[in-house]
Structure 1
Amino acid sequence: MSEQESYENIPTNEELVNDVAKGLESQFCLNNENDPENPKRNATTIVDSDRNIGIPENFEDSDTDNQEDQKPEDYIDEELLKDSELSLSDEEKEKRCKEASELKKQGNEEYKTEKYLESVYTYTKALRICPLKFENDRSILYANRAASKIVLNRKESAIEDCTKAIELNDKYVRAYLRRARLYEESDKLDESLADFKRVLEFDKGNKDALQAQLRLPPLIAERNEKLKTEMLGKLKDLGNMILKPFGLSTNNFQLNQDPNSGGYSVNFTQNQH
């Protein structure tokens, strides 16, 4: 696993905060599922705003087969493409690559003339015929399609395309830059900084990446401090709920930091009446 891949597997601070809070809530909060006022009894819909596909949460009551088959229009089935290439000769693969190259030119022209949706379809068509062996060509197609999606405000899908482009060419500076900007706009600041640092490995004088190295660390520190405060607030609320039956609250416990080790100790104090 590469350094970039291992970094991306680390959950963000916000994810950790939510996981801790949800875990504690599930242990100590008893929900009456039979209560007609309980929102869990009502069917809700999870919506992917990037693709605008509604998925009922209680999907076991729906036609699951149709939902499993439902895929976005720009989906690339590489397994299907791989199988279809088994019977192709090298000459036929070269021919398909040239056809994909012509489609890429068409997509580029559509992008220049602000026909962004059309360009997405054209790049997708090219990806569906370009043989898998031509990784650099496919990488460019994914990166170009991401550029069109950015203009269409399909950020999540654009990030996926940039990631695919990088998987096919891990030195693709333009794909790193596009994904870094998308990550920053999506408040994924750690991931953004990691991509900008990656850019500097290949282009030490890149102005966007150099500026990001100065701009992002303070924003990350500020966000982390805010998340820490929010986490402590959530834990304090849960702690008060748990301690209330015993006539206690979190005010009965003092958190003290050792100035030498930096560690914390908890002291119990009984309220005086």
Structure 2
Amino acid sequence: MSDRLKNTCKTSNEAVINDITRDLETSLNTNENTEGYVIQPGTSEEQCFSTETTKNHTELPKEAEFDADHNASDNEEDKESDTDSIDEEHLKDDEVALTDDQKAERLIMAEELKQAGNNSYKCGEYERSVEKYTEGLRLCPLQFDKVRAILYCNRSAARMKLKKYQKSIKDCTKALELDDKYVKAYLRRASSNELLEKYQDALSDYEKALELDPSLEETRKAVVRLKPIVEAKNEEMKKEMLGKLKDLGNMILKPFGLSTQNFNMEQDPETKGYKINFKQ
């Protein structure tokens, strides 16, 4: 499985800067009320800038802040309920005692449940279709990756209809763990991410789907549509982080009688990187 398919919780650069800034504010605020603070001779670097690492980081990155409509339903999705969870360890243990014929029988039953889920989906009975796909996943032997991937992907489609976008994303990710070339799973995960305004994740999945199937014109249009949105978001975040870094620099430089005004930052037009020049 490729690294990009691992569904890990990521902390944004902005949140990291917030964390660093908060720690330094805690350690340096004791000097805020001392006008004309100076470093005494013989004071060690550790004494000037002692910091304590914050262990519990609770501030959410901005991309996790969804609008009210999404929050209302998705806050209840953080944990799988007993009715739709899949205990793969239990399945693995249960299958040890099964013969090949018994596994084949279970596969047939899982296929029938998948079809029942499809029929319920077509009738607009999305909750019932989720139930049928879940039953199929609990029955289908783990060795049949393709069938299990389809069950997860189909369940994600039903969850999208129910506006349970976080769960839809989880199901697509499971499907892709089983079949990393499953175009439909990339597309559904991209759509769910876009609806949650997680544009960078959506763009990445659309691009991957297009890489696997270049004939997808609607997906190509989605890539064109999302690129400027992602670039604008990244530029906005970069400006915010530079502002936080400036505040951070001022806190560090203050004891030396300096500020970030003593430094000039210029952007390289070719590399888009920055160089800093000192000025008196």
TM-score bucket of the superposed structures, by smaller chain: 0.7 to 0.9
Aligned pairs for 1:188-203 (under 5 A) are 188-203=198-213
Structure 1 CA distance, aligned partners of 2:225 and 2:142?
Answer: 39
Structure 2 CA distance, aligned partners of 1:139 and 1:213?
Answer: 25
Structure 2 CA distance, aligned partners of 1:156 and 1:53?
Answer: 7
Q: Output the TM-score relative to the length of structure 2.
A: 0.74
The residue aligned with 2:88 is: 78
Amino acid at match of 2:81: P
Residues 52 and 121 (structure 1 numbering): CA distance in 2 closer, same or farther, change over 3 Å? same
Residues 31 and 256 (structure 1 numbering): CA distance in 2 closer, same or farther, change over 3 Å? closer
The residue aligned with 1:63 is: none
Which of 258, 267, 271 pairs up with 2:278? 267
Q: Secondary structure at the match of 1:128?
A: helix
Residues 177 and 29 (structure 1 numbering): CA distance in 2 closer, same or farther, change over 3 Å? same
- For structure 1, the 5+ residue unaligned runs are 33-43, 55-69
Structure 2 CA distance, aligned partners of 1:176 and 1:260?
Answer: 33
Q: Secondary structure at the match of 2:214?
A: coil
Residues 86 and 3 (structure 1 numbering): CA distance in 2 closer, same or farther, change over 3 Å? closer
The residue aligned with 2:99 is: 89
* 2:23 is aligned with 1:26: yes
Aligned pairs for 1:17-166 (under 5 A) are 17-30=14-27, 50=74, 52=76, 71-73=80-82, 74-166=84-176
Residues 71 and 210 (structure 1 numbering): CA distance in 2 closer, same or farther, change over 3 Å? closer
Given that residues 120 and 149 in structure 1 are in contact (C-alpha distance below 8 angstroms), is that contact kept between their aligned partners in structure 2? yes
Deviations 1:205-256 (A, max 9, x none): 1012211232222122111110011111222233444555665543343324
What is the percent sequence identity of the aligned residues? 44
Deviates more, 1:233-242 or 1:142-151: 233-242
Given that residues 263 and 276 in structure 2 are in contact (C-alpha distance below 8 angstroms), is that contact kept between their aligned partners in structure 1? no
1:4 shift after superposition: 4.1
1:183 shift after superposition: 2.0
The residue aligned with 1:64 is: none
1:267 shift after superposition: 1.5
Structure 2 CA distance, aligned partners of 1:88 and 1:23?
Answer: 54
Q: Output the TM-score relative to the length of structure 1.
A: 0.75
- For structure 2, the 5+ residue unaligned runs are 30-57, 61-70
Question: Number of residues paired by the alignment?
Answer: 240
Residues 85 and 106 (structure 1 numbering): CA distance in 2 closer, same or farther, change over 3 Å? same
